[in-house]
Amino acid sequence: MIIQQQHFNLNPFEFDIFAGMDVDKRSISVTFVSHEAVLRSIKIPYDSKNLMRYVEKQFPEKRIAFVYEAGPTGFGLYDDLVAADRVCLVVSPSQTPRTAAERIKTNRVDSRKLAMALRGGELRGIHVPSVACRQLRHLTHLREVFLHQVTSTKLRIKGMLLLEGIGFPADGNHRNQWSGEIIDRLKNLSLPEVLRFKLDQYLETLQFGKTHLLESTRQTACFCKKDPELRECMELLMTIPGIGSTVGFYLLSRIGDWRLLTHPSQVGALLGLVPTENSTGDRTRRGSISRMGDSVTRNKLIETSWTAIRHDPELKEFYERIRLRHPAPVAARKAIVAVARKLSTRIYAVLKYQRAYVIRITKSEPQAQGTTRG
């Protein structure tokens, strides 16, 4: 993966002009602010070349810092500015300072707000994913689309049969409701013409989704194998109990460049597994998890935690200890989320230090202990 120079906090005193940009698919609204005043606001077609020509003509030899909010236009503008040796910050819309009294929202107003906040040092940039991670995100998103299609189609088939009072076929071992035997029975059900046509269309859609789900999973695996760094990171992640290739795909697509990790809590915070807090004075109040970041990856990590506690005695002991602290109705849910949070620190460790995770059992230690090795 190519590492791009990234800035997450800027020192305003190192720059002469601050350019806040509000970007849409057709245009860029830019407000230029100096340390003393607002210089000007312009609107230009969405083209980084137009922006660079304007800046070079109007502000020659000036140190300029650019900023815009992450959105549907992606990171193309960031790439072009960085390639031109310009400093650019990409910020999350949810972390842009706003006032409760705001009643006017336009592109020009938003660009000015960003420029003023950048000048005041109030903005913190996000980690811009590398090109390889962006492509991996496309693949995992495509896989999720087909997975959702397969799940939705299965539910529609069951819903139609329930509505018409038709029992869903059951196989002999009751292990797989959607085995080949069950599909054959659905194809041979004796139904009225309209229902038969509807069910056949659903079954074709189901087969289409399964085929493309398998193909997208294979393509994602091939993509990771072709990239040496992604392949190595996948191998390291899969040494952690419970984490397989699918969860590894999603984790790498969201975490991005492991070199930018600086603290063990970063992965948990990225996935929204850290607790919220509303404390005042001497009273400390922590609530449920923040649920920030990508919900799909967070849910997959929580789901894989059930597998992890079956293979790692240390995690199993941790799960039971947390479960016993809470009332029965919520004990298991809270405990498994805590396990997912613990797994996030292991993910940080194996990626940051590029070491495989192992479970070591010694005679003096009846419980397994997670360690890392080179």
Cβ-contact 217, 150 below 8 angstroms: no
107 vs 284: CA distance, rounded Å: 40
Whole-number pLDDT of residue 366: 45
Cβ-contact 21, 65 below 8 angstroms: no
Whole-number pLDDT of residue 298: 95
Number of H helices, E strands in the chain: 12, 9
Angle at 338 between CA 335 and CA 343, to 5 degrees: 130
350 vs 35: CA distance, rounded Å: 44
Architecture of 12-119 per CATH?
A: 2-Layer Sandwich (3.30)
216 vs 19: CA distance, rounded Å: 40
The pair of three-digit structure tokens given for residue 182, joined into one six-digit string: 């069950």
Tell if the pTM clears 0.75, that is, is over it.
Answer: yes
Q: Which helix (H) or strand (E) holds 93?
A: none
Angle at 94 between CA 17 and CA 130, to 5 degrees: 70
Cβ-contact 335, 323 below 8 angstroms: yes
Cβ within 8 Å of residue 258, ≥6 positions away: 233, 351, 352, 354
Cβ-contact 55, 64 below 8 angstroms: yes
Q: What is the DSSP letter of 311?
A: H
79 vs 48: CA distance, rounded Å: 10
Domain ranges of the chain: 12-119, 131-226, 239-373
Whole-number pLDDT of residue 173: 63
Whole-number pLDDT of residue 365: 45
109 vs 285: CA distance, rounded Å: 37
Whole-number pLDDT of residue 361: 60
Cβ-contact 348, 231 below 8 angstroms: no
Instruction: Encode the chain (374 residues) as per-residue pLDDT tens digits.
Output: 344 556 678 889 999 999 999 999 999 999 999 999 999 999 999 989 999 999 999 999 899 999 999 999 999 999 999 999 999 999 999 888 887 777 888 999 999 999 999 999 999 998 899 999 999 999 999 999 999 999 999 999 999 999 999 999 876 665 668 888 899 999 999 999 999 999 999 999 999 999 999 999 999 999 999 999 999 999 999 999 999 999 999 999 999 888 888 899 999 999 999 888 888 887 888 888 889 889 999 999 999 999 999 999 999 999 999 999 999 999 999 999 999 999 999 999 999 999 999 876 644 444 434 444 43
* Residue position matching structure tokens 């993910």: 347
Whole-number pLDDT of residue 63: 94
336: number of Cβ within 10 Å:
19
290 vs 272: CA distance, rounded Å: 5
Strands (E), 269-338: 275-277, 286-289
Cβ-contact 315, 342 below 8 angstroms: yes
